[in-house]
Amino acid sequence: MDAPQGSSLGDQPDGFRSGFVSFVGRPNTGKSTLTNALVGEKIAITADQPETTRHPIRGVIHEDNAQIIVVDTPGLHRPRTLLGERLNEVVKDTYADVDVIGVCVPANEKLGPGDRWIVENVRKVAPKMPLIGIVTKTDIASKDEIGAQLLALHDLLDGADVVPCSAKDNFQLSTLLDVLTSYLPEGPKFYPDEHVTDEDRDTRISELIREAALSGLRDELPHSVAVEVDEVLPNPDRPNVLDVHAIIYVERPGQKKILLGKNNRRMGRIISQSRKSLIELMGQNVFVDLRIKVLDNWQSDPKSLGRLGF
């Protein structure tokens, strides 16, 4: 994976390591939550729906002896749309370029065909890539469940290192970082100490709005939601207020009605929730102006996908 321009920042101690890590796993195995916990800041949105992550997100972890760049990717899956096919290609390119891959499985769910399918496909894409096992969500599992899952994942990965952890209560996160670091090559810092992500401002804004829009949704609708930031401008009448104008795209008129909700109540909740997240991101007061537009079958239309950055 390409390092950022201007890499090798300052002097590092002997034996300093740096490199790229990616997490794989079925939907809702806690990959994005784990990424946020390790980085120490929310850089990846989380939701209960599969395929929430839609593009690789780099998060930078600064340790005394290492700099670890975690690349949070869309989940490898059996695609149903052109968008799904394009996301899979992005994922495969990412997996081929990192230094180590962590296979994530929840402590409270037995290994199944989906886990095996993912491991098989990762090995096809990057046959020489080191894999480690990560048993997530230990805070909601019994000791017996955790032990059984560690053994099962150890076997699935042909004896690879396995680490149990919980992003929610920070259990074993330092141990996981030590294990990941051991797989990285010696090298320089790629990013300054204060750097946490490569994500540009508008991308982070659109993702936080999409996270708010996904809240409480079920079935197929979440896959049909996309967000585009129109403009971000200082409010002409209110000092220290940013006006964020964005568009939420869906594929059918019925989906627009669902997002609006009865008497526009759901839309009001989306605006309120996203505004709170954007205030935290921007560090100042924010006014959020959202519109919903129908973009017919955008997930399978090449022109629409290009417009939305896929």
Is position 32 annotated in a ligand binding site?
A: yes
* Contact between 38 and 197 (Cβ < 8 Å): no
Q: Is 26 annotated as a binding residue?
A: yes
240 is in an annotated binding site: no
Query: Can you say whether the dihedral through the CA atoms of 90, 133, 20, 165 is positive or negative?
Result: positive
Closest CA to 92 of 125, 54, 55: 125
Say how far apart CA 65 and CA 78 lie, in whole Å.
39
Q: Is 188 annotated as a binding residue?
A: no
Flag whether 180 is marked binding. no
Handedness of CA 135, 137, 138, 141 (dihedral sign): negative
- 81 annotated as belonging to a binding site for a ligand: no
Q: Is 28 annotated as a binding residue?
A: yes
Sign of CA dihedral 30, 32, 37, 39: positive
According to the annotation, is 72 in a ligand binding site?
Answer: yes
To the question of whether residue 30 is assigned a binding role by annotation, the answer is yes
Phi, psi angle pair for 108, to nearest 5°: -100, 10
Q: Which residue is associated with the tokens 């899952």?
A: 149
Consult the annotation and say whether 31 binds a ligand.
yes
For residue 75, say whether it is annotated as part of any ligand binding site: yes
Q: Is 217 annotated as a binding residue?
A: no
Q: Is residue 138 marked as binding? A: yes
Residue 136 known to bind ligand: yes
Outline where DSSP puts E strands in 88-222.
Answer: 100-106, 131-136, 162-164
Q: For residue 76, say whether it is annotated as part of any ligand binding site.
A: yes
- Pick out the residues of the known binding site: 25-32, 72-76, 136-139
- Pick out the residues of the known binding site for GTP: 25-32, 72-76, 136-139
